[in-house]
A and B are shown apart, each in its own frame.
Chain A
């Protein structure tokens, strides 16, 4: 499903080049659950940004279902993100201006689904994550665990083929962290491909495979 070949990412600041990713190559099959671990500054978030089309690599190829993603235009990247990818972040990133329903419905609105379909899909996902009672609440009225569940609902509502998860438990207590990880397990069991970036080795072990990133290179697969 995903094939990364010789991926390099270099940042330049004050005329000094820093290589965040050094010739990384790996592949991920459809339905696979992969954890990316490693110390801070190892290149985890950079790699996730490139896979999530949030950033461009300096060189190398990124093939997603036989398509070289790096060659897509800005508009096509937007469409691709909307239809194929789901994001879950450590700090939830919910829009404070919208209620839970509208936050979850946002990706559906951008792909121009009609009202009935949006209602149906959003209600289904809220029910699946057991947060239908929060539907009309503003994100600022929710606890951290609830906010992360809403963020997961938003990531899943468009049935993406790849779920990108960046430190999902970083802002949560252990109980809520466990709950979120269980949700990810459920998603995986239902066929979702997941890439999880985490510091927590215990959570990483729940994945089928681990990639250890150290100083911009993959050390163990």
Chain B
């Protein structure tokens, strides 16, 4: 095989190296972008997967939980409450609390320095299954543990440190142990401010009755008694130490890793966004370099093929060029990667394990292989698209037609890139516009202090009227006990009611959900009435309905017949229009369009949707205790299954979190689309200017003003861009009509389309004008006339 011929390989490699050198600044820019993109990608798997148990030395992750004790009114938590809670609970085998503060530290008669000081129950170390690097865990209230880094920096790793004295806030302590070097302070948000000022936690004081800082939040780590025992993902309880306690303590229990990773979520989203943008930029830039190679070295390719070289043998130069760029980029990426990881580990609480310049082999192999495969395929594509015979013929018969072919091919790829970028831009804007509706919704209809409990009757033989009576009894019972309560046949945050589709020959199909609620529902949920009112206290009619804001707007804006069509189907008694606080959870929604909104009917057993088997009891309070459960449901325990209560405020915030993440990724898509537009326009104009240098020179020599050439060129560009727009519009129309069928997506607003076109044209013009200006005014195209 010729590919194994040493001389051949050497020759092709040296040609490729020369090409890289010849490109000068362009190569340097690409190498650095590639290096940065690779260094981001190298750590991306490690960082995006979040913090693992190994990263923070947790040996039993499934059994380890995080416990937060807080007082809602900022009242300080007395340590005796913590001890009492630990004594009363029966879930954890080991349970240790800790907190953080600042301390004036003085040793060896040196001046005092301020450090972040951890204050932990001595049992924390055994709960975490840790062993000291040297010494023993504290046994008395005056013994402290120091970090490895503090020991190394301040005591020069002196192994005789154990038993020495150190003053913290003028109180003497004895050093009893040094932590392992790999120990990482559990990353919690609340200690971030402390940590960033003075670095990592240097010393750990014992937490006890004598030494409790009296703050309003304590952190705890607990190991459950049995691995099989599962706690609810987040348990919110109010813990009253005594019946008459004025300030109850709120307790939140979560799996430890979930708690840790919750605080790194935004960092990870940011990281993925940056990595994606850089990768797209680099791939586009490299593709344009290789494409430009294919065009610029076409004559050489033709000659090589005429002398008997196959396409693969000729193509290997491009591949070598790619390899050279990659190799140099990888060399630069290694220290980049090291600095990046060190930065994350040193300047934030978020540690993702040990820092290493060399990435995990598998990840690295996969990233490099995929990148090379994608790029080499893309680079090979133009070679394949040019018929060999044509290529050779161009060489044989001089350059007849070759300029046109080259220019044509470049335009095809240019248009392809523009189309891809425009598709990215359109879809990202489409997603942003849809998500922003949900954000608007969230800020105008925030739910506060409402919990929902899902109920399901146990007797499958019940008639619908009997089911209604049963749930009405639950409601009456709750109201009798003094709870501000309501019923709803669907979860108040989901669109999971009965779906109705009204078909009409005159108007668009109308689809909505019907939900039955009790009279107090809107009041408890805090939904505002934009028009009309809710269900009347006295003598409500069975066909009374309240419609959601979105449905009403849709009915008004669609066509004059839409409202008539809606009313003709029995929805003719509209009492009012209400604001909407639902954030549709797509996982639980079906595939039917529901964007047209909701129709609320009164839950009284007679309306169509009153026959729901499941029911939600809505209570106007922030959380409910076990006592509340007992009071509310004890009489119905034989008849109804009761699921745990969930706070609508928290659930709404959780859902908004995913909406915000979606918004960020849409913004990433938008930025990527614009970047591809700019890079491809830039490359295209640069190449085209080279090709048309003689033409520009001649025109200028004949007295044409430079601006007229620029205008002529821009006209050509607009024609070219129009082709892309036509192709893109077809794809977008198909795509959007598909997305419109999905739940949660509305139609594409005309305002956004105008905005996209404006941004796109601006990007095209800006990225075309700069190289064009350079070629016309700086490079003097008239010099090409002398060369010819």
Contacts of B305 in A (CB 8 A): 78
Q: How large is the interface on B (under 10, 10 to 19, 20 to 34, 35 or more residues)?
A: 20 to 34
Q: How large is the interface on A (under 10, 10 to 19, 20 to 34, 35 or more residues)?
A: 20 to 34
Contact of B395 among A93, A105, A112, A154 (CB under 8 A): A93
Q: Which positions in A face B, CB cutoff 8 Å? A: 45-46, 48-49, 52, 54-56, 74-75, 78-79, 81-83, 87, 91, 93, 95, 97-98, 102, 105-107, 109-112, 114-115, 118, 154, 166
- 14 sample A-B contacts, Cβ–Cβ < 8 Å, listed by A number: A48-B396, A49-B396, A54-B396, A78-B309, A79-B308, A81-B306, A82-B307, A93-B395, A95-B303, A97-B300, A109-B2, A110-B307, A112-B1, A112-B2
Bound Cα distance from A79 to B395, whole angstroms? 18
Bound Cα distance from A102 to B8, whole angstroms? 9
A77 CB to closest chain B CB (Å) equals: 9
Q: Are A93 and B392 in contact (CB under 8 A)?
A: no
Q: Which positions in B face A, CB cutoff 8 Å? A: 1-2, 5-8, 11, 15, 18-19, 299-300, 303-310, 313, 388-389, 392-393, 395-398
Q: Are A98 and B397 in contact (CB under 8 A)?
A: no
Q: Are B393 and A109 in contact (CB under 8 A)?
A: no
Contacts of A115 in B (CB 8 A): 5-7
A140 CB to closest chain B CB (Å) equals: 12
Residue of A nearest to B401 (CB): A13
Contacts of B307 in A (CB 8 A): 81-82, 87, 106-107, 110, 154
Bound Cα distance from A92 to B266, whole angstroms? 62
* Those 8 A-B pairs whose CB atoms lie nearest each other, nearest first: A82-B308, A54-B396, A110-B308, A49-B396, A54-B392, A97-B15, A110-B309, A112-B2
Q: Are B7 and A74 in contact (CB under 8 A)?
A: no
Contacts of A79 in B (CB 8 A): 308
Q: Are A111 and B395 in contact (CB under 8 A)?
A: no
B439 CB to closest chain A CB (Å) equals: 57
Is the contact region of chain B dominated by helix, strand, or loop, or is it mixed? helix
A108 CB to closest chain B CB (Å) equals: 9
Q: Are B389 and A109 in contact (CB under 8 A)?
A: no
Contacts of B397 in A (CB 8 A): 45-46, 49, 54-55
B307 CB to closest chain A CB (Å) equals: 5
Q: Are A110 and B300 in contact (CB under 8 A)?
A: no
Contacts of B11 in A (CB 8 A): 98, 102, 109
Bound Cα distance from A95 to B396, whole angstroms? 15
Contact of B306 among A46, A87, A105 (CB under 8 A): A87
Contacts of A114 in B (CB 8 A): 5
- Which of B2, B308, B392 neighbours the largest number of chain A CB atoms within 10 Å of its CB? B308
Bound Cα distance from A105 to B2, whole angstroms? 13
Contacts of B304 in A (CB 8 A): 95, 106, 110
Supplied contacts A81-B308, A82-B307, A154-B307, 16 more A-B pairs, CB within 8 Å: A54-B392, A54-B393, A55-B392, A55-B397, A74-B389, A81-B307, A93-B299, A97-B15, A98-B15, A107-B307, A109-B2, A109-B5, A109-B11, A110-B2, A110-B307, A110-B313
Bound Cα distance from A102 to B7, whole angstroms? 10
Contacts of A46 in B (CB 8 A): 397
Residue of A nearest to B399 (CB): A91
Q: Are B389 and A55 in contact (CB under 8 A)?
A: yes
Contact of B18 among A52, A87, A97 (CB under 8 A): A97
Bound Cα distance from A49 to B302, whole angstroms? 13
